[in-house]
Amino acid sequence: MTRTVGQVRADVEEASRWLAGRVVRTPVLRSPVIDELAGARVLLKAENLQNGGSYKMRGALRAVGRLAMAGHTGVIAQSTGNHAVAVALAARQHGLAATVVLPVDAASTKVDRARAAGARVVFAGTSVEERVAVANGLSDESGHPVVDAYDHPDVIAGQGTASLELIEDAERAGTPLDALVVPVGGGGGVAGACLAAAGSGIEVYGVEPVGCDSLARSLAAGVRVPVTPAPTIADGLRPSCVGELPFAIVRDTLRGVVRVDDDEIAAAFRLILTELKVLAEPSGAAGLAGALRLTPDRDRQRTVGVVLTGGNVEEALVARLMAPRSADLAEEGAAA
């Protein structure tokens, strides 16, 4: 049976009520410099300040909490990092065992965070298919359910609460959103955003790195299209295919997908650090990179919301991404 707009938005609203007091209601940030560059009023939801360092905590806590109430004693997850960290933390909160499957090239920051949360860490190749196969095998052996990073209704609803809070806070401030921009990996976050914005008239956009654009290709083809992910600094946005459930949600509701390259992501990363004074990982900064690509409305100032999805980034990568900025300043100083 087809569900109404009110019913699908109600899933996110119910998750929001359940998560109240269990997750941080992160602040909404704004910079005049970013507004000027975007030609719009840009409101950034700082989920890099969330428990576990990303908005993945919302979906993981919602899903793991419900599994705990159903009597499960353990959970299994696979991801490039943030979802695994979030599931490990959620499992610890509920007294469940957690096993997380990560790629062999996972960022050490995310590996260390998962282990610190008490999870058993298993490494499996570099592709999502390899991780899924191992996670499913571990589930068969242990009987513990897999909490999928994006193909799970509770994860999608939980992630959607970040967008819902941004929508609500923008309305309370008297600057209701015209558009909402969310980075896309497997599609859970942008699917949750579409649910949160259902019936509001807000245009929802996804952002994918160039060469990691399964969602954009899938929307064009009308069916899910896998890709061989290209190298990118946005390590959390490189699944080989958008999830089945996220695609079913966004295929008729998403306004569009913006593709951004690593230079644009790096520039957005530097803007966030220098103008907002917070640290976002490149996957989170991709949302701002996409927002800066949207065409301004010449007749009025639009309000664009961006979800800064995470802040778990390696120190060495921060130094590398800031190096061009340092070089520019050195050149300016020499010229002066």
- Residue 325 in this model has a pLDDT that exceeds 90: no
Length of the chain: 336
Chain mean pLDDT for the chain: 92
- Residue 241 in this model has a pLDDT that exceeds 80: yes
What pLDDT sits at residue 331? 45
Alpha carbon distance 125, 114 (integer Å)? 18
**pLDDT tens, position by position, 118-156:** 999 999 988 888 999 999 999 999 999 999 999 999 999
Q: Domains in the chain, please, with CATH?
A: 9-54+152-322 (3.40.50.1100), 73-142 (3.40.50.1100)
Averaged pLDDT for residues 178-184: 98
- Residue 330 in this model has a pLDDT that exceeds 50: no
What pLDDT sits at residue 336? 41
- Prediction pTM value: 0.91
- Residue 200 in this model has a pLDDT that exceeds 70: yes
